[in-house]
Amino acid sequence: MPETISIAAFQNGDKEAFNHVFNMFYKRICFFAAGIVNEDSAEDIVQDAFIKLWERRNSFDNLNAIKAFLYLTTKNSCINTYKHQKVVDKFESAQVDIIDESNIIFHLIEAEVLEEVQQAVQQLPQSYRKVIYLSYFQGLSNQETADHLNVSINTVKTQKVRSLRILREILKHSPTALVLLVHKIL
């Protein structure tokens, strides 16, 4: 198709002329865009550039002007997409920082409350402390705790119940510690 006929038909909205222009430039414009943004974004950007070309088809009187328009439009869209992605990445990174900051505060509070619980456990009689430590802090079952201490399973159960009663009394002034104690132990 000679350039003059192609451009005149293109300006008049002839779809075959548009397809000719599309086939002539699409792959090279996509390759150009993929050098700046990822391949999926590149294809979307190039398709948008061709839509803009179609909408402004009356403004072009030769193929060089069309080619320049496609490259310029694609370049600008790629830069905008790249900048937008940097903003999104920065925002997501900031969200991670915010999440990490709230986790730090949570762990700080948890550490403080656990210290209260540890101090309360230290006030228990030694045999009760051993049962609490093995059962709750080491995660042993009642039978494993009994075997480790060479006592009966009923002794372990009884000492756990009595320990919890004493701990509740010691920690009654600290509702947060009491909640954590109940949460960790139960």
pLDDT per residue as tens digits for the range 28-84? 898 888 888 888 888 999 999 999 999 999 998 898 999 999 999 999 998 898 888
- Distance, in Å, from the CA atom of 38 to the CA atom of 81, rounded to the nearest integer, reads 10
Instruction: Residue 120: name the closest of 139, 106, 136, 108 by CA.
Output: 136
pLDDT of 7 over the 50 cut? yes
pTM for this predicted structure: 0.50
Q: Report which of residues 124 and 186 the model is more confident about.
A: 124
Considering the segment(s) 123-185 as one domain, its CATH architecture is: Orthogonal Bundle (1.10)
Report the alpha-carbon angle 81-57-22, nearest 5: 65
Q: Report which of residues 177 and 84 the model is more confident about.
A: 84
Angle between helices 15-34 and 39-55 (to 10 degrees): 150
Q: DSSP labels for 114-139?
A: HHHHHHHHHTS-HHHHHHHIIIIIS-
Calculate the average pLDDT of the chain.
82
Q: If DSSP codes are grouped into helix, strand and coil, which group holds residue 140?
A: coil
The residues spanned by each domain of the chain are 3-90, 123-185
pLDDT at 186: 43
Considering the segment(s) 3-90 as one domain, its CATH architecture is: Orthogonal Bundle (1.10)
pLDDT at 71: 92
Instruction: Residue 150: name the closest of 133, 124, 127 by CA.
Output: 127
Average pLDDT for 5-10: 80
- Distance, in Å, from the CA atom of 83 to the CA atom of 60, rounded to the nearest integer, reads 29
pLDDT at 183: 54
Q: Report which of residues 32 and 113 the model is more confident about.
A: 32
Residue 87: band (very low, low, confident or very high) from pLDDT cuts 50, 70, 90: confident
- Distance, in Å, from the CA atom of 103 to the CA atom of 92, rounded to the nearest integer, reads 16
